[in-house]
Amino acid sequence: MPLSGTLKRHASYSRRIAWSSAIIGVVFFVLFVLVLLMLTWQKRVRQHEQLLLRSSEDLQQVIATLEETLFPLQQYTQLSCSSVSRELTSRAAFADNIRAILLVRDGNAYCSSATGAFLLPARNITPASELGRDRDIQLLPGTPLLPTRPAVALWLKNPGAQESGILATINISLTPYQLLASYHPEITGMALVIGDNALLSGTQQVVHVRDLPPALAALQLPGHTLQFRLYGSTLAPRDYHLALLTGLLFSLLISAASWLILQLRRHPGREILQGIRRGEFHVEYQPLVTAPEGRPYGIEALLRWTHPVEGMIPPDAFISYAEAQNLIIPLTRHLFTLVARDAQALCQQLPRGTRLSLNLSPLHLACSEFRQHVQAWIADMPADHFSYVFEITERSMVREKNAGEIFAWLHENNVKIAIDDFGTGHSALIYLEKYPFDYLKIDRGFVQSIGTETLTSPVLDAVLLLAKKLNLKTVAEGVETRDQAAWLVKRGVTHLQGYLFSRPLRPEKLLSYYQNQARLG
Ligand code: C2E
Ligand code: CA
Ligand code: CA
């Protein structure tokens, strides 16, 4: 694949990573906001229950204190107003919230802490109060003296007498309870319900309970017909703002972190080692044929990488990565392992003496353990079956100072050497005389220029002439047309390789290729 393709693949990698991170961020945002709102919702519900509980406890306390103050006055209901009215007045003055204390005898109020002696049926003051009960609480829209200010009527019956007892009117205001609720901007109002009547916060009017809007939460005071109700919403706008803002902040962080992790994970070096471990590499073998007969002569092992996400990655891309990441040695050793494994089956069909070419990186040649690696590989291969060729690009020779020594050692070990991609590097001709090559592989770029009146044809002519003089075998790679093959044969190229004869094949396909060739003769 050309470099542009590799770069494109790289760009699409990056785009995919960016998309994945963005999707992770969005999913996290949605989940985070939902969970946070749910938790806040539960917290607010609990807080509202607490608020109702505190308010009702407070009211209960007020009522209990009042009852304690009023209960000793029961004895006065047997006495005349004139004898107790002063006492009544001072009691009312010293008790909190009391508007008036009335003494009731036989259903009639006859003495008031506010106005002294008078006579009025208690029902006229508080029509809903049940005087037959020991204790009764009602909500009044007003009292005779303050007809527009709501009050609570507390009736405490004298246990020994019918419809006699103390009736106290008490100032009622929801302000203290609203103060408690002021920490909760989501609570817009409260109501106190007593029997069928209700007092709504913010108003000074007593309304019928059925005229109240639906409440958010309510709590009944135990042992009373009193109920506190809350109005508003469970969540405040600030709860939504907070959830959205923290969600946004965290999801940005999560996005950035996943981008970083994905970037690190896709680190090609890591991926190559992982690919080796997970068995993502395999080898394909491309046949080489003799010219002009077209008889099978050898095979070139070409490494393939099937990435679990990216699919096929061309060797042009991953070999240079492996070299850049210092991983070409483990990768070539993996190639050795794969070839040795395939060779067990291949040697059953492929004739003895078949040339088996492997591409080696110059970095590996320079490695101190190179010779051990090669010896170990040869020991793994079927004995005396293949004839080995190492293909080395001419560019590498510029860098490798000990090339001559290594080449001599390879020859001692019966490994032939091919100069690969000939004509694409610099000062190519110098190397031909300097080193003892066995094969010269003409780069497919040259072969493809055949018949296209470019300047490369005369260069190719000169190279082939030199090769003949040096007694080198020549392999033309990338032969795709009969015309190219005919042109090369005419100029004395000894071997051909290219799609015209066969593409690189998996071992099973290679075996059928050899069977077919054997049948053809
Ligand atoms: P190369 O050594 O020049 O290998 C020949 C390349 O030409 C192969 O590409 C092969 O598939 C392709 N080819 C063969 N016949 C034709 C044809 O008729 N037309 C066209 N257009 N192409 C043809 P591939 O397999 O993609 O390998 C590319 C390069 O990757 C190789 O070039 C080689 O330099 C490197 N490579 C492949 N396998 C290995 C390996 O195991 N080790 C090392 N170090 N390098 C490898
Ligand atoms: Ca090659
Ligand atoms: Ca080539």
**CA-proximal residue: ligand 1, atom 24 (nearest):** 315
Conformation bin of residue 230: beta by default, left when phi > 0, alpha when psi is -120 to 50: beta
Q: Angle at which helices 328-349 and 370-380 pack, to 10 degrees?
A: 20
Nearest to 297 by CA among 494, 63, 129: 494
Question: Running DSSP on this structure, what letter comes out for residue 205?
Answer: -
pLDDT (tens digit, 9 = 90+) per residue, 441-481? 998 888 888 877 665 667 778 888 888 888 899 999 999 99
pLDDT range class, residue 7, cuts 50, 70, 90: very low
Decide which of 214 and 398 is more confident: 214
Q: Cα–Cα distances in Å, from 285 out to 31, 339, 381, 502?
A: 51, 10, 16, 10
Atom of ligand 1 nearest to the CA of 441: 3
| Sheet strands (E) in 443-483 | 473-476
Tens of pLDDT, residues 259-287: 998 887 766 567 889 899 999 999 999 99
Name the closest-CA residue to atom 21, ligand 1: 478
Gap between the Cα atoms of 428 and 472, Å rounded: 14
- Is the shortest distance between the CB of 498 and ligand 1 below 6 Å? yes
CATH architecture of residue range(s) 73-232: 2-Layer Sandwich (3.30)
Q: What is the pLDDT of residues 233-243, one digit of tens each?
A: 999 999 999 99
> DSSP letter at 158?
-
pLDDT, residue 465, reads 85
pLDDT, one tens digit per residue, over 131-154 is 999 999 999 999 988 899 999 999
Per-residue pLDDT, 179: 83
The full set of domain ranges for the chain reads 73-232, 268-520
Q: pLDDT for 288-341, tens place per residue? A: 999 989 999 999 999 999 988 878 989 988 998 888 888 999 999 999 999 999
pLDDT value at position 1?
Answer: 36
Q: Is a pLDDT exceeding 60 seen at residue 6?
A: no
Atom of ligand 1 at shortest distance to CA of 443? 3
Q: Is the pLDDT of residue 65 over 80?
A: yes
- How confident is the model over 412-443, as pLDDT tens digits? 999 999 999 887 765 567 778 788 899 999 98
Query: Does ligand 1 have an atom closer than 6 angstroms to the CB of 418?
Result: no
Q: Encode pLDDT of 164-207 as tens digits.
A: 999 999 998 888 888 888 888 899 999 999 999 999 988 888 99
pLDDT of 284: 98
pLDDT of residue 268: 59
**In the sheet that 98-105 helps form, which strands lie side by side, from edge to edge?**
116-121, 108-112, 98-105, 165-171, 151-157, 135-140
Q: Mean pLDDT over residues 215-222, rounded?
A: 89
From the CB of 420, is ligand 1 less than 6 Å away? yes
Stated pTM of the model: 0.57
* CATH number, span 268-520: 3.20.20.450
Residue 160: pLDDT over 90: no
Q: How far is the CA of 300 from the centre of ligand 2 (A)?
A: 7
Does ligand 1 have an atom closer than 6 angstroms to the CB of 361?
A: yes
Domains 73-232 and 268-520 in one fold:
no
| Residues 453 and 463 sit within 8 Å (Cβ to Cβ) | no
Residue 109 binned pLDDT confidence (cut-offs 50, 70, 90): very high
Model confidence pLDDT, tens digit, residues 337-372 = 999 999 999 999 999 999 999 999 988 988 899 999
- Angle (CA) 112-134-131 rounded to 5° is 55
pLDDT of residue 3: 32
Ligand 1 pocket test target in 359, 488, 503 with most atoms within 8 Å of CB: 359
What integer pLDDT is reported at residue 358 of this predicted model?
A: 98
Gap from CA of 424 to ligand 2 centroid (Å): 13
Residue 155 or 325, more confident = 155
